[in-house]
Amino acid sequence: MQTKIVILTTFIILLFAACTSPQSLPAGHTQIPTLIPATEPSSPLTETALPSFPIQSYPARLPSAQLGQPIYETHCASCHGEDGNGIVPGARNFGDLDYMRGETPAFFYTTVTDGRGEMQGFRDVLTSDELWDVVFYVWRFSTDTETLNLGQNIYEENCQVCHGIDGTGEVLGASDFSDLRIVDDQAPRDFYLVTTQGKGSMPAWQGRLSQDERWSVIDYVRTFSYDPTLPGDIVADPLPTSTPEEIVCDPKYLDQTNPYDWNDSAASIAGQVTYDQACGMCHGVDGSGAIPGTPDYTDPVVAENLRSNGGENLCVVANGRDAMPGWKETLTDEQMWEVLTFMYSFGK
């Protein structure tokens, strides 16, 4: 009985303890922020200007440097100078080749249209055609007639067979240089990189053209998208290129024989991979010749000549001939023999 009384007493004490008011907690380190009533705006509403994006408009005709000249003299020469070298602080020097070769016609168009820094925009002053005219007049400060003539000579000898006489592209995959929508965002240095290193089925030209020759043909390629003619231009006589009229075969190539059997299927398969990437554009997927002047390797006589004169054909692949570039800087001797082995299979 006494035990029951103790238990009951303990229960009553615990019950009263649970009903007492809790002690307050210590203040925290961070105050709880006072919330703004839902009926009041957290901050006054202000109008936010929408970002401005330049609108690229293309001309209805071929841009003309000659038509751009009087526009430049009226609106631009006071700051940039008649020769484009800049006469006020901050004015760009258009004779700076390093700068000009790193920029694009699209960049110049946007700058002339919307302005940049302290330079005003001419969106409301000039039409789209006039904007492009002055852009390409400015472009002419970075080249001259002699350079363009040299570039034309090189282009006609080495590039025209694939890219066409008017730059629109003669074979599948060749760029259309006449379409301003395609080339306006390409800087000269972009063209230079492709010309130097090659791209896709286009070979590298570093081993055949000097730096100045590559830059000159790039300047000429740009003229497919604008008329570079200026008053007083004198058309120079065609200038010689660095490509010799005849290529003398190095015994290193001429004295070689095919290290593979001409019917070696493994070598032929390996050669096909290289052929499809580098040769098919001009010689055709089936070897019949995709452009004028290329041999028809489906002809058994031509195929047999390839086999019986392997060293000479290796020399042609290595050093190039006429409009065909050399591949010795890009392919090993073994890779070139694999390609020749595959090409022989066209006429079997």
pLDDT in tens, 183-236: 999 999 999 999 998 887 787 888 789 999 999 999 999 999 999 999 877 665
Q: Which pair of structure tokens corresponds to residue 28?
A: 């925290």
Output the CA torsion sign for 292, 174, 215, 233: positive
**150 has a pLDDT exceeding 90:** yes
**311 has a pLDDT exceeding 80:** yes
Q: How many CB atoms lie within 10 A of CB 307?
A: 16
Please give the pLDDT value at position 284: 83
Please give the pLDDT value at position 265: 93
Please give the pLDDT value at position 78: 94
Categorize the per-residue pLDDT at 335 as very low, low, confident or very high, splitting at 50, 70 and 90. Answer: very high
**241 has a pLDDT exceeding 60:** no
Q: Is 103 helix (H, G, I), strand (E, B) or coil?
A: coil
- Residue 320 phi, psi (nearest 5): 85, 170
Burial class (CB in 10 A: 0-12, 13-18, 19+), 249: middle
pLDDT, mean of residues 301-305: 88
Beta bridge partners of 227: 64
Average pLDDT, the chain: 83
pLDDT, mean of residues 168-195: 90
**110 has a pLDDT exceeding 70:** yes
Q: Which pair of structure tokens corresponds to residue 248?
A: 């003398």
Q: Is 339 helix (H, G, I), strand (E, B) or coil?
A: helix
Write the CB contacts of 41 (distance below 8 Å, at least 6 apart in sequence): none
Q: How many CB atoms lie within 10 A of CB 314?
A: 24
Alpha-carbon gap, residue 267 to 275, rounded angstroms: 12
SS (HEC) of 35-58: CCCCCCCCCCCCCCCCCCCCCCCC
Write the CB contacts of 121 (distance below 8 Å, at least 6 apart in sequence): 112, 113, 114, 115
Q: How many CB atoms lie within 10 A of CB 269?
A: 13
Categorize the per-residue pLDDT at 245 as very low, low, confident or very high, splitting at 50, 70 and 90. Answer: very low
Please give the pLDDT value at position 99: 95
* CB contact burial 323-347 (16+ within 10 A = b; e otherwise): bbbbbbebbeeebbbbbbbbbbbbb
Strands (E), the chain: 320-321, 324-325
Strands 324-325 and 320-321, bridge-based pairing: antiparallel
- Residue 324 phi, psi (nearest 5): -85, 125
For helices 211-222 and 145-158, the axis angle rounded to 10 degrees is: 90
- Residue 150 phi, psi (nearest 5): -65, -45
